[in-house]
Amino acid sequence: MSVTDNVFIGRQPIFNRDNEVEAYELLYRPGQQAKDSAGMVDGDQATALVLVNTLMEFGLDRVASNKLLFVNCTYDFLTGNFPELLPPDQIVLEVLEDIQPDAKVLSSIKRWKEMGFTIALDDFVYAPHLQPLIDLADLIKVDITVLPEGMAAERKRLAAFKGRLLVEKVETQAEHSEAMQLGFDLFQGYFYNRPETLGKKGMDAGKAQAMQVVRAAMEATETSELEKVISRNVAISYKLLKYINSPGFGMRSEIRSISHALTLMGLRSVRSWTAIVAMSSAASSKPDELIKQSMARGRFFELLAEAEGKESLKSDYFVFGMFSLLEAMLDMPIAEAIADLSLPEVVREGLLDSRSNLGRRLQLVKAMEQGQWKKIALLMNNQGNIKLTSMFTEAMFWADELNLA
């Protein structure tokens, strides 16, 4: 049995001040069977072993997607020899908040720094006795949900720190703006997939034009009709062909025209992808990670349709996953965003009703994206033998291979 059969693996993006993804934090949890099969009494050591094996099996380059990868370090991981198995130029070692600066810890950190690892202090709250850790750290992460006196006060306490400061659990655009003003360097949280405002308002001209293409694409019932919709917008035609020719599609030969794509992929598939490309144009001011996440959701739900034997619904499920982030893309309530779109009923129901079949599955996907272990376990009850965590990981890697530039 593969070690990855027992492991959930995901990532949370870390943004710089230009709203670009600079790194990912690894969200990782082994199953109980994986811990038992490690043949070790110490749980921390078992976790470290499964982590290293998982990265080796998936491939570190694939997991990191050409970015730095932040890895949580337990006491045993940090003070043992496990980091020797990882490349220092790709890994940031996160010293967990419950680790105290004893002689063994400080000696180990110095050793890893000499090897070239970047050292981060996770969920940090300033206290004088932690100064030896501060002196060795390259980066400090502060969690805004646990700071006793707020973000500004903690930023002031760390004014003398010469490394970079990261603020995590940033869930709103207001929190992100405050952290920017305070001079934080890096940002982590789900602010990027939340709408900036949620009041009723009109779209700007660019978004309105893109959504007209979405509407026309979803209403097209003939290939000739859809080809006309696409050909009217050169930018969307160009981007659609780039997507389709990305490695994630696995096409044996290059698709050079929309007509060729319609012949090979069919009306429903190309219609869905046209709507997706137009949506990404509407969200051009948003981080690329938002589009990548929506792609991953779409692929996850497409795989779900296959696993459930609902081949005829694959396209609809894919659209549902993509459109599940439409609220953040357009900065308007989902009901308003889809009001004029000709959507299949299963998609519309899933987007508007969290109690529906797809609505419940979406709650699970969101929990996976955020590494909410207890919620994942609760929501995965009654899911049968479908390997949802494996599908989630496959969808994540698939989205990495698409040409989003």
**Tokens 């035609």 belong to residue:** 237
According to the model, what pLDDT value does residue 39 have?
42
Residue 129 burial class via C-beta count within 10 angstroms: exposed 0-12, middle 13-18, buried 19 and up: exposed
Q: Which of 390, 58, 400, 66 lies closest to 247, judged by CA? A: 400
**Tokens 């970047």 belong to residue:** 118
**Res 366 pLDDT > 90:** yes
**CA triple 141-142-147, angle to 5 deg:** 165
Q: What is the mean pLDDT of residues 285-307?
A: 92
**H runs (alpha helix) in 245-313:** 258-265, 267-282, 288-307
Domain boundaries, the chain: 3-193, 205-400
**Res 317 pLDDT > 70:** yes
Count CB neighbours of 55 within 10 A: 23
Instruction: Give the CA count within 13 Å in the CB-facing half-sphere of 1.
Output: 9
Q: Which of 13, 78, 26 lies closest to 54, judged by CA? A: 26
Radius of gyration in angstroms for the set of CA atoms belonging to the chain, rounded to a whole number: 23
Return the percentage of the chain with pLDDT > 70, whole number: 90
According to the model, what pLDDT value does residue 1 have?
34
Q: Looking at residue 346, what DSSP letter applies?
A: H
**Res 42 pLDDT > 60:** no
Flag the least confident range among 41-45, 162-166, 341-345: 41-45
According to the model, what pLDDT value does residue 89 have?
95
**Distance spanning both ends of the chain, measured CA to CA:** 37
Structure tokens at 184: 């934080």
**CA triple 223-225-228, angle to 5 deg:** 110
Query: 3-193 architecture in CATH?
Result: Alpha-Beta Barrel (3.20)
According to the model, what pLDDT value does residue 378 have?
85
Q: How far apart are CA 9 and CA 105, in angstroms?
A: 27
Q: What is the mean pLDDT of residues 69-73?
A: 93
User: Quick one: pLDDT band at residue 362, thresholds 50, 70, 90?
Assistant: very high
- pLDDT for 179-214, tens place per residue? 999 999 999 999 998 887 655 555 677 777 788 888
Q: Which amino acid is at 375?
A: K
User: Comparing 349 with 249, which gets the higher pLDDT?
Assistant: 349
According to the model, what pLDDT value does residue 32 have?
46
- Secondary structure class of 329 (helix, strand, coil): helix
**Res 286 pLDDT > 90:** no
According to the model, what pLDDT value does residue 33 have?
42
**Tokens 């070690």 belong to residue:** 3
Residue-level length of the chain: 405
Q: How far apart are CA 52 and CA 209, in angstroms?
A: 48
Q: How far apart are CA 28 and CA 122, in angstroms?
A: 16
pTM: 0.86
According to the model, what pLDDT value does residue 47 have?
66
**Res 8 pLDDT > 50:** yes
User: Quick one: pLDDT band at residue 34, thresholds 50, 70, 90?
Assistant: very low
Count CB neighbours of 302 within 10 A: 24
According to the model, what pLDDT value does residue 43 have?
56
Q: What are the C-alpha distances in Å from 343 to residues 42, 348, 351?
A: 52, 6, 10
User: Comparing 73 with 264, which gets the higher pLDDT?
Assistant: 73
Task: Report phi then psi at 102, rounded to 5.
Answer: -80, 175
What single string gives the DSSP state of each residue in 46-83?
A: HHHHHHHHHHHHH-HHHHHTTSEEEEEE-HHHHHSSGG
User: Quick one: pLDDT band at residue 363, thresholds 50, 70, 90?
Assistant: very high
According to the model, what pLDDT value does residue 35 have?
41
